[in-house]
C-alpha cells in the first residue's frame, strides 16, 4: 500500500519481541535438520572432536584441559538446539504430508467419479450396440431380399 502524503503517518505499535519470519525460520530449520542427518555431519563432528581432544591432550597450550568441560558444554548446546530444530522440521514435513494426503484423497475421489461415469457410458454404448444393425446382418438381409426378388421375378415370368 502506498503512503498518502496528505495524511500524517501512523506510528507502528511498539514491539517488545523481535520479529522473525516463521516460514524462513522453518526453511532454515529444515536445512539444518537435513544436514544433521547426514554422514557428512557425523564425519565433521568426529574430526572436530578428534582435533579438540588431540589439541588439549598432546599440545603444550591447552585451552580445555582433561575433563573437557568446554567441549561438553559446546556439545550440549549443539544438542539443545538440534533437537528442537529437528522437531520443527518434522512438524513441517507432517503438515506437508497432511496437505498432500488431502490433495491425493480429493484427486482419488475425482478419479473414482470419472471412472464410474465412464463405466456408465460404456454400459450405455453396449446397450445401444445391441440395437444397432451390423454389416453382416444387413448383408444377410439384402441377400434374403435379393433371393425373394428373384423368386418373385421367376413366379411373375412363369405366370405370363
Domain ranges of the chain: 22-153
- The answer, as to whether pTM is greater than 0.75, is no
Cα dihedral value 86, 91, 92, 93, nearest 10: 90
Summarize pLDDT for 37-69 with one digit per residue, the tens: 899 999 999 999 999 999 999 989 899 998 999
For residues 88 and 26, the answer to whether their CB atoms sit within 8 Å is yes
Amino acid at each position: 500500500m502506498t503512503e498518502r502524503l496528505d495524511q500524517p503517518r501512523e506510528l507502528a505499535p511498539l514491539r517488545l519481541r523481535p520479529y522473525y519470519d516463521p516460514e524462513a525460520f522453518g526453511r532454515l530449520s529444515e536445512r539444518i535438520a537435513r544436514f544433521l542427518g547426514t554422514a557428512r555431519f557425523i564425519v565433521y563432528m568426529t574430526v572436530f572432536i578428534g582435533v579438540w581432544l588431540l589439541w588439549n591432550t598432546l599440545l603444550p597450550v591447552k585451552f580445555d584441559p582433561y575433563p573437557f568441560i568446554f567441549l561438553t558444554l559446546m556439545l550440549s548446546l549443539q544438542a539443545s538446539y538440534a533437537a528442537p530444530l529437528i522437531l520443527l522440521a518434522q512438524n513441517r514435513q507432517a503438515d506437508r504430508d497432511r496437505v498432500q494426503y488431502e490433495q491425493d484423497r480429493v484427486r482419488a475421489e475425482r478419479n473414482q467419479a470419472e471412472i464410474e461415469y465412464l463405466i456408465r457410458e460404456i454400459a450405455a454404448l453396449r446397450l445401444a450396440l445391441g440395437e444397432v444393425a451390423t454389416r453382416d446382418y444387413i448383408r444377410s438381409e439384402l441377400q434374403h431380399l435379393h433371393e425373394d426378388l428373384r423368386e418373385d421375378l421367376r413366379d411373375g415370368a412363369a405366370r405370363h
